[in-house]
Amino acid sequence: MTTAEETAGGETSAWGEVTPDAARRLLIAAVEAFAERGYHATTTRDIAGRAGMSPAALYIHYKTKEELLHRISRIGHAKALEILQVAARREGTATERLTDAVSSFVRWHAGGRTTARVVQYELDSLGPDARAEILALRRQCDAEIRGIIEDGVASGEFDVLDVRGTTLAVMSLCIDVARWFNVDGPWTPDEVGALDADLVLRMVGATK
């Protein structure tokens, strides 16, 4: 199993929608290469070599290197949005929903740090149309967190002066986990998720 498959909380299943097998192997190889070398320093030959294929075989499944990055970004952001939507729509208080949203979102970024680094930090490598699509997904992710915070303010659970600014701070805290998390470090993804959820509740002045 590759590094990218071992992270992201079950990476193999995360790419299950990518078919055929050769296309999935190339995508996973691209995740690893982009995370290790950066998008611009990675060549299609690098990606094909990691997948055990010839450079010509890559173009059967992906017209360009950017198409690979776009698909990785779209799948990753869709998964992130799903995680937040599930938490935001569950029954419970705003405090419970925000705790669930942050801990789940952080676990995804820690457990899937290889994928998450590419998904979150290579946005500017995309062309205008692809970038606009991914930005729309990001805005939806922001809206889920912002909605929970607004609910908490309305219910009196949270004491927040600037909901939009606080949403940005919460999202930044969660996303940055992908940059620094180390599987050989002192914390597990679950522990980091619990820690950041507690920090966020303090940030919003949770009273319940």
- Residue 15 is predicted with a pLDDT of 81
- Check if the beta carbon of residue 28 is closer than 8 Å to that of residue 126: no
- pLDDT tens digits, one per residue of 41-83: 999 999 999 999 988 989 999 999 999 999 999 999 999 999 9
Structural domains present in the chain: 1-202 (1.10.357.10)
163-187 mean pLDDT: 94
Q: pTM of the full predicted structure?
A: 0.87
Query: What do you get for the CA distance between the two ends of the chain, in Å?
Result: 43
Q: Which residue from 46, 45, 35 is spatially nearest to 3, judged by alpha carbons?
A: 35
- pLDDT tens digits, one per residue of 122-148: 999 999 999 999 999 999 999 999 999
Banded pLDDT at 184 (limits 50, 70, 90): confident
- Residue 110 is predicted with a pLDDT of 94
